[in-house]
Amino acid sequence: MTSVNDPGAALVVGVDSGGSGLRIALAEAASGAVLDTRSSHEPVRTGPGGISARHFLDQVLPAVRALTEPHGARPVVAVAVGAAGMATLGDELRAELPGAFADAWGVRRLALAADAVTAYAGALGQRPGAVVAGGTGMIALGTDLTSWRRADGWGHLLGDCGSGAWIGRAGLEAAMRAYDGRSGGSTALLARAEKLFGPAAGLPGALYPRTDRPAVLASFAPEVGRCAAEDPVAADILTRAARHIAEAAEAACPAGPGALVALTGGLFKMGDPLLVPLRAELEERLPQALTVAPAGDPLAGAVALAAALATGTLRLPEDPALLRLSGEGAAER
């Protein structure tokens, strides 16, 4: 019979919270091997205090209870939560989760991380380098294992250059230029825009009132990719996007040889129309870095953080906004 005092019996929980909902994994503390997962398609609400701790806990606590029930008395010894908006909207989570998890499971080791950190841990583990997370938005995060370096991730109005929203907006601008007869327009992109959104003259009225404008803009990015092989305007948009992404990777990546660079997120599923110019830009700007495929996703990163915290092997640096530790794990470092 397994004893709760046996280190091999310990469990950890990893949580990935984002715009599409929650994913929760239960794993072995010693190995990080995932035993089971649960998911919810309901994103955690944001209120006056930022990300709602109560709504988060209402989803996570029952899910973890269901995950752990088949494993009897095996203790949960560490939890890692990666959440979109943690850096700027995570005060309520940071205030309430340590006590809530301690009350629920007796957990004394907790890592609260920005989703870019769990993306990093999932992609590169605990090695120095930089990860570019690209989707509707875009952020690059790097570390030399002493401190973090962030580039972009400032939203579609102030940055996210090269992101899905950026590419989609540039493509729609080219469509409107063609509609007006201005230089720099693309009749191919105009045709795709009208097929997707209706008559071009009605596009501002259809787009501007939307509260999900970044996602709507990003929905047009694949159309830019589909046009790039035959349309020089679309190809130029992706070349400029690649330059922006590589600039962010260069800004975040630690200097010197041995650093790794990984690309993660749905943006890079666009394939060669974006990846070919991006690889060329990365080779030019980061000749000493090695570009590698990401080992795992942000949920895998949350599990890796929790397992490292449980075993005292966490090497990724703490940061007030990006990665905050509480309980025994914080005291031991």
| Arithmetic mean of pLDDT over the chain | 91
Q: How many CB atoms lie within 10 A of CB 122?
A: 27
β-pair type (76-83, 109-114): parallel
For position 1, what pLDDT does the model report?
35
CB distance 51 to 90 below 8 Å:
yes
**If DSSP states are collapsed to H, E and C, what string results for the chain?**
CCCCCCHHHCEEEEEEEECCEEEEEEEECCCCCEEEEEEECCCCCEECCEECHHHHHHHHHHHHHHHHHHHCCCCEEEEEEEECCHHHHCHHHHHHHHHHHHHHHCCCEEEEEEHHHHHHHHHHCCCCEEEEEECCCEEEEEECCCCEEEEECCCCCCCCCCCHHHHHHHHHHHHHHHHHCCCCCCHHHHHHHHHHHCCHHHHHHHHCCCCCHHHHHHCCHHHHHHHCCCCHHHHHHHHHHHHHHHHHHHHHCCCCCCCEEEEECHHHHHCHHHHHHHHHHHHHHCCCCEEECCCCCHHHHHHHHHHHHHHCCCCCCCECCCEEEEEHHHHHC
pLDDT tens profile 91-126: 889 989 999 999 988 888 999 999 899 999 999 999
Longest dimension (CA), the chain: 77
Least reliable range by pLDDT among 73-82, 156-165, 204-213, 228-237: 204-213
CA 256 from chain centre, in angstroms, equals 25
pTM: 0.85
pLDDT tens profile 12-60: 999 998 877 899 999 999 999 999 999 988 888 888 888 889 999 999 9
Cα–Cα distance measured from residue 120 to residue 141, given in angstroms and rounded to the nearest whole number: 7
The half-sphere exposure of 202 on its side-chain side, counting CA atoms within 13 A, is 7
Residue 5 has pLDDT above 50, yes or no: no
For position 332, what pLDDT does the model report?
53
Cα–Cα distance measured from residue 207 to residue 50, given in angstroms and rounded to the nearest whole number: 27
For position 329, what pLDDT does the model report?
53
Bridge partners, 327 (sequence order): 109
Cα–Cα distance measured from residue 233 to residue 237, given in angstroms and rounded to the nearest whole number: 6
224-242: string of b/e by CB count within 10 Å (b at 16+)? bbbbbeebebbbbbbbbbb
